[in-house]
Amino acid sequence: MYTILHNSRCGKSRESLKVLEDSGKEFQIREYLKEPLSKKEIKEILSKLKVNPIDIVRTNEEDWKTNFKGKELTDEDILDALVKFPKLIQRPIVIDEKSGVIGRPKELVEDFIK
């Protein structure tokens, strides 16, 4: 079963959701802005993606620029920022039990669910 971390206001996220819908595969939607992720959940996602916390940060978001840009941050600091400001999390992210992918572009999701 797949899970998509989805923001319905994001065109890229909607494109990846359509890929999942059209695939006929079983998936669930997690609207992470309405149902925020815990630090533990974010760590699990990072492990599946095989990336560091900074790799899933939307560094062009105003919250990042205002509160964090240019500061020396540990991975724990970044995780705390992602928990406090879920809008900073890259979207969409599609995961299964073992791995995952950031769905930018949607073709990465297509390849992932094959």
Place of tokens 């620029």: 65
Q: Could you give the CA distance from residue 48 to residue 91 in angstroms, rounded to a whole number?
A: 15
Catalytic option among 3, 10, 80, 108: 10
Which residues lie below 8 Å from residue 18, measured CB to CB, with a gap of 6+? Answer: 106
Interhelix angle 75-84/39-49, nearest 10 degrees: 120
Residue 41 is a catalytic residue = no
* Residues recognised as catalytic: 10
